[in-house]
Structure 1
Amino acid sequence: MTKPTRIALIIGATGGIGGETAAALARHGWTVRGLTRRPQPAHPQIDWISGDAMSAADVLRAAQGVQLIVHAANPPGYRDWDKLVLPMIDHTIAAAKAVGARIVLPGTIYNFGPDAFPSLREDSPQHPRTRKGAIRVEMEKRLKAAASAGATVLIVRAGDFFGPRSTANSNFSSAMIQRGAPVKRIFELARRGTSHAWAYLPDLGETIARLLDRESELATFDVFHIAGYQLAQGEMAQAIIKATGKPGLKVWPFPWPLVLALQPFVHLFRELAEMRYLWRESIALDGRKLQAFLGDALPVTPLEIAVRDSLEGLGCLDAESDRSKQMRYSVI
């Protein structure tokens, strides 16, 4: 008997989270649509639909016939969050209600303040210290209200994102290293003696797809945390050094004093300064609920492979590193 076609609409399919989720859903048999404002090259896994997430009519048109809407839209460089983010989630909610689709939101740790640290549970109190965190909390409140009004919602929260498709919104590819160039220096963001939660984007996308394979077992409004990698200060930097095959690479403390001094004049520095508190204390995500639900099906890529594939995808490995990779694979 032929399985019915499952169709998913990805809001933000050109981004790191949306792209990896689209790829994972396609592997699991979904037909994937991607909403885009600009023409995109043909993609083997995504049917592009022209439209703007800021247009309720465009989102509703793209959502016709879908069973799932993944809301992975993030304004580039975190610009204009206060003007863009909440209208976009409202349009997704309205479209999902109209067509009877489940909404999936890839969540972050921005929702939480120090009162919830160090171990974040799905039901930990949400008292963010930043503007973006407050917007994230409001997004989830609106999704919960939508679920009370008949919609179905899945939120999957994870730590700091990194992966082969990482965008400028990722601390890995915008603060620790420079994307598009061989690694010549690494900046360490975390304070000495702390640890930080990291999440590999392909694992996040695959986790979402595997949860949806068991959608009938999910609650109307369900939330899961991905534990990901809990890395002590310096461990991500060392993983980057190992992946490049350059043991002499220098690791520098991130120039927080300069960022704080220049934040009134540089937009990116202002955004980084606002999120500094997330790097001054240890943060972990409690993934026991997800582990219990998926068991051995929980995707966990070894850190060494995740970091190397991320650097390769971001164009951060030079010819010497590539030769080392070829030698390693030839031996294996």
Structure 2
Amino acid sequence: MAQQFILGAGLIGAELARQLSAAGDQVLIGSRRGTPVAGATAVVVNGSDAHALTEAVRGSETLFICTNPPYHTWAEEWPPIGRAAIAAAKATGAKIVLMGNLYAYGVPDGAMTAQTPFNPHDSKGQIRAELWQSLLSAQEKGDIRAAEVRASDYFGPGSSVNAHLGDRFFGPLLEGKTTQVVGDPSLKHSWAYLPDIAETLIAVAREEDALSRAWVTPHSSHDSRLRIADQVAELSGVQGKVIGIPGWVLRGMGLFNPRMREVAASSYQFTHEFIADSTETEERFGLRATPFEQALHTTLDSIKAL
């Protein structure tokens, strides 16, 4: 029975723990509060404390980094988490699999693959680019083994107000009301289902030759939010409406709310088509995204049950 360590007990960390446990692995999941997660042993640990993280990870085959600090604290929190993870992996021999996103690509010029060059558009993209580069640099020195799994915005059961396709989006639609969204709702955008993200993380961790590079997780949908609203109506029998929040409103909100300031800074992801290409991942690991209608049905059922 292999032991795995997950840093971060949020939605991705919890789903990853569930899948690893179901596969027979012993799972430890670390967070500052020691958040309990089904199928895992909760550990209290500060992910930016190299010594504490090293001791927590010791004996584990993989260190999965699934934590995600609040937007407005990225500059303060991500660099020490990266340094601590490198120190822990070097000391214990655990491989690192980093849960990533597409921020470092900036404004896209076509579909984004793992080979698409970084071109950060805001500070968050720059921070993510530097984090990955620090892991690559440590690997090139022979200190660690690492990979990154990148996904666009996620959705699925439990996705709440912080998700662009969470209950704040679906809730009003299920009541036949209007939901407000960032950017242009008519533009295509890639959406990753939570279980598919976890499955990709595990597939990459299981293959030694999948390390030293990044992979893009399969995505269930590349539809616009207008089209998704129509699909919600088809499944529920209730037709809601989607409207975009003007950019000037977001920027105004950002004057008083640090999180909204960062949402506005990354709103380019919803003012351009934002498409992820996972062809290489699908061919390498034989993975396929969960059909969107199935994933959407499960997500809507979870919201109705609230």
TM-score using structure 1 length: 0.83
2:13 match:
18
- Match of residue 159, structure 1, among 152, 158, 182: 152
Aligned length: 303
Counterparts of 2:227 and 2:183, CA distance in 1: 10
Whether contact under 8 Å (1:156, 1:226) holds in the other structure is yes
Q: Report the equivalent of 1:317.
A: 304
In 1, are the aligned partners of 2:154 and 2:191 still within 8 Å (CA)? yes
Cα distance in 2 for partners of 1:187, 1:149 equals 47
Matches within 5 A, 1:297-312: 298-312=287-301
Deviations 1:223-270 (A, max 9, x none): 111241211351222233344x14232222334332222221122321
Confirm whether residue 92 of structure 1 aligns to residue 79 of structure 2.
Answer: no
Pair 1:69 & 2:63 matched: yes
Alpha-carbon distance between aligned partners in 1 of 2:224 and 2:165, rounded to the nearest angstrom: 15
What is the correspondence of 1:258-273 to structure 2 with a 5 Å cutoff?
258-273=249-264
Q: Deviations over 1:260-306 (max 9, x none)?
A: 222211223212211111111112112121122122xx142121221
What SS does the aligned partner of 1:211 have? helix
Partner of 1:7: 3
Task: Tell me if 1:139 matches 2:165.
Answer: no
Listed one character per residue, the Cα deviations across residues 96-116 of structure 1 (whole Å, up to 9, x for unaligned) are 1111111011111111122x4
Greater C-alpha Rg:
1
What are the ranges of 5 or more consecutive residues in structure 1 without an aligned counterpart? Answer: 320-332
Counterpart CA distance in 2 for 1:267 and 1:58 is 30
The answer as to whether partners of 2:282 and 2:288 remain within 8 angstroms in 1 is no
Alignment pair present for 1:252 and 2:239: no
Q: How does 1:1-332 map to 2 (within 5 A)?
A: 5-12=1-8, 14-41=9-36, 43-76=37-70, 78-114=71-107, 116-150=108-142, 151-173=144-166, 176-177=169-170, 184-191=177-184, 194-213=187-206, 215-219=207-211, 221-228=212-219, 229-243=221-235, 245-295=236-286, 298-313=287-302, 316-317=303-304
For 1:248 and 1:224, locate their aligned partners in 2 and report how far apart those are by CA, in whole Å.
Answer: 37
What residue is the counterpart of 1:330 in the other structure?
none
Distance 2:17 2:26 in 1: 9
Unaligned runs of 5+ in 2: none
Change (3 A) 1:182 1:27: farther
Q: What RMSD over aligned residues (CA atoms) do the two structures have, in Å?
A: 2.4
Identity %: 27
Q: Could you give the per-residue CA deviations for residues 76-111 of structure 1, whole angstroms, max 9, x where no partner exists?
A: 4x2311111110121111101111111011111111
Distance in structure 1 (CA, Å) of the matches to 2:52 and 2:86: 13
* Maintained 8 Å contact 1:130/1:275: yes
In the alignment, the residues of structure 2 paired with residue 136 and residue 169 of structure 1 have an alpha-carbon distance, to the nearest angstrom, of 19
CA contact (8 A) 1:69 1:96 kept: yes
CA–CA distance in structure 2, aligned partners of residues 257 and 189 of structure 1: 11
Gap change, CA 1:32 and 1:101, over 3 Å in 2: same
C-alpha distance 275-175 of structure 1, shift in aligned 2 (>3 A): farther
Per the alignment, do residues 108 and 18 of structure 1 end up closer, same or farther by CA in structure 2, a change over 3 Å counting? same
Name the CA distance, whole Å, in 1 between partners of 2:139 and 2:76.
24
**In the alignment, is the contact (CA less than 8 A) between 1:157 and 1:224 conserved in 2?**
yes
SS in 1 for 2:105: coil
The Cα shift of 1:193 comes to: 5.2
